[in-house]
Amino acid sequence: MWLLDTTTLALSAFFDANTPSYAILSHTWGSEEVSFQDIQGPHEQISHRAGYNKIKDCCAKALEAGFQYVWIDTCCIDKTNSTELSEAINSMFRWYQNAVTCYAYLEDIRAPAWRFWQSRWFKRGWTLQELIAPINVLFWDCEWNEIGSRASLGTEIESITGIPARILLRNSSLRDHCVAEIMSWAADRQTTRIEDRAYSLLGLFGVSMPLIYGEGANAFLRLQLEIMKATTDHSLFAWNDRSGDHKTRSHLVVHHSACFSQPSSSNDPRKTISMSRL
Each residue's pLDDT expressed in tens, for the chain with a length of 278 residues: 999 999 999 999 999 889 999 999 999 999 999 999 999 999 999 999 999 999 999 999 999 999 999 999 999 999 999 999 999 999 999 999 999 999 999 999 987 777 899 999 999 999 999 999 999 999 999 999 999 999 999 999 999 999 999 999 999 999 999 999 999 999 999 999 999 999 999 999 999 999 999 999 999 999 999 999 999 888 888 777 655 544 444 466 676 677 777 654 434 444 433 323 33
What residues contact residue 145 under an 8 Å CB cut-off, 6+ apart? 111, 113
| pLDDT given at position 28 | 98
- Cα separation, 155 vs 114, in Å, equals 13
Half-sphere exposure of 237 (CA within 13 A, CB side): 19
- Cα separation, 245 vs 248, in Å, equals 5
- Cα separation, 261 vs 242, in Å, equals 9
Domain boundaries, the chain: 1-172, 176-278
Q: Answer yes or no: are the C-beta atoms of 131 and 137 closer than 8 Å.
A: yes
- Kindly write down the DSSP assignment for every residue of 3-62, as one continuous string: EEETTT--EEE--GGGPPP-EEEE----TT---HHHHTS-GGGTTTSHHHHHHHHHHHHH
Could you check whether the bond before residue 42 is cis, i.e. omega within 30 degrees of 0? no
Q: Give the closest residue to 168 by CA, choosing from 122, 124, 201, 200.
A: 122
Pairing mode, strands 69-71 and 2-5: antiparallel
Beta bridge partners of 4: 11, 70
Q: Answer yes or no: are the C-beta atoms of 110 and 145 closer than 8 Å.
A: no
Query: pTM to 2 decimals?
Result: 0.89
Beta bridge partners of 82: none
Q: What three-state secondary structure class fits 98? A: helix
| pLDDT given at position 97 | 98
| pLDDT given at position 114 | 75
Half-sphere exposure of 219 (CA within 13 A, CB side): 21
Q: How far apart are the first and last CA of the chain?
A: 43
| pLDDT given at position 95 | 98
Q: How many CB atoms lie within 10 A of CB 249?
A: 17
Q: Give the closest residue to 248 by CA, choosing from 257, 234, 259, 236.
A: 259
The secondary structure of residue 190, as a DSSP letter, is: B
